[in-house]
A = this chain, B = another copy of it.
């Protein structure tokens, strides 16, 4: 099966439309749901250090896959609802970040672009 964003988005929107859920899915609600799901993902890692978080991924692989799928489903639908081309936006952002974080300055640094 295709892993194109367009194909996945079509399946997500079909699921939603069979249930007549678009009425609940205004942009605000989608942003709220994304934040709540991002909070669920984060909860797996609270108080963990880096090494513990690596083992956690191994121990809770299916749950984490499911949490990430929740965020992805909402994000793909929200982009579609807002007429945003997510693949193009990702590439535009990478291009912008390439300017903000030139390789020679950003290499090996965790600083923000305005602090490089």
Residues of A within 8 A of B (CB): 1-6, 8, 11-12, 15, 18-21, 23-24, 26-29, 31-50, 52-54, 56-57, 61, 64-66, 68-73, 75-76, 78-79, 82-87, 89-94, 96-98, 101, 103, 106-110, 112
Contact = CB atoms under 8 A, between A and B. Distances in A.
Nearest to A66: B93
B70 A93 contact: yes
Nearest to A55: B27
A23 to B, nearest CB: 8
Copies in the complex: 4
Contacts of A87: 1-3, 8
A36 B26 contact: no
